[in-house]
Copies of this chain bind each other. A is one copy, B any other.
Amino acid sequence: MREYIEQISGKLPDEAWILYQQNLKAMRSEKGQLILGLHKPCKTIWHMTKGAVRKLEMDNGIEKTTHFYVAPKVFTVLHSALTGEPSDLSIISEEDCEFLTLDIDQLKILYQQSIYIERVGRRMAEEEFIEEFSMRRMFLKLDALQRYEYLEKKHPEILRRFQLKDVATFLGVTPETLSRLRKLRLSV
């Protein structure tokens, strides 16, 4: 996990890493298990060392997938974690997973104790922002088929590890439409 974080933030002094690591707790989840339930405030940063999870929202009774995460990956529900408000997103294990968890309030203390940890937070937020923007650009520039092909090319592991119905809502189309697009692509 240190290696993964340093890849984003740059090299950390041992002291900073030790301080950070002291506050991590091990946790597991089984496939199908809810990591964060709807309407619960998100108080945790998950450092996923094994497995895969999916973030989703409900829209008139229909699940819409907003994110796929595959280990190693650090994630949270930021707008809930920062404000303490109930999360409008849920997180579910799509495989058996292993995590190191970090409490949000603890992280805020760590930010005050180490400029290096503050930097980790900045660099992660920057990278997440860039990724979010890149996904929004998909919707501005590409039609449904092109979005699927883009996903297939850039994140082929998502197609291997998650269900197509969830890939469909992630791409902003119905599962029926995705099915038709895939057929169309094969015949060309």
Query: Interface on A for B, CB 8 Å cutoff?
Result: 57, 59, 64, 66, 78-79, 82, 111, 115, 118-119, 121-122, 125-126, 128-130, 132-133, 135-137, 139-141, 169-170, 172
Q: Are A78 and B129 in touch, CB under 8 angstroms? A: yes
Give the docked Cα–Cα distance between A137 and B135 (Å).
Answer: 10
Q: Are B129 and A119 in touch, CB under 8 angstroms? A: no
**Which residue of B has the minimal Cβ distance to A119?**
B118
Number of this chain's copies in the complex: 2
Give the docked Cα–Cα distance between A122 and B8 (Å).
Answer: 14
Known: A57-B141, A66-B133, A140-B170. 7 other contacts (CB 8 A): A66-B140, A111-B119, A122-B125, A125-B129, A132-B133, A132-B136, A139-B139
Q: Are B125 and A66 in touch, CB under 8 angstroms? A: no
Residues of B within 8 A of A140 (CB): 57, 59, 64, 66, 169-170, 172
The answer, among B82, B121, B126, for a CB contact under 8 Å with A82, is B126
Give the docked Cα–Cα distance between A38 and B72 (Å).
Answer: 35
**Which residue of B has the minimal Cβ distance to A122?**
B122
Residues of B within 8 A of A82 (CB): 126, 130
Q: Are B172 and A137 in touch, CB under 8 angstroms? A: no
Q: Are B136 and A59 in touch, CB under 8 angstroms? A: no
Can you list 28 residue pairs at the A/B interface with Cβ under 8 Å? A59-B141, A64-B140, A64-B141, A66-B136, A78-B126, A78-B129, A78-B130, A79-B133, A111-B119, A111-B122, A115-B115, A115-B118, A118-B118, A118-B122, A119-B122, A122-B122, A122-B125, A125-B128, A129-B129, A129-B132, A132-B132, A132-B133, A132-B136, A135-B136, A136-B139, A139-B172, A140-B169, A140-B172
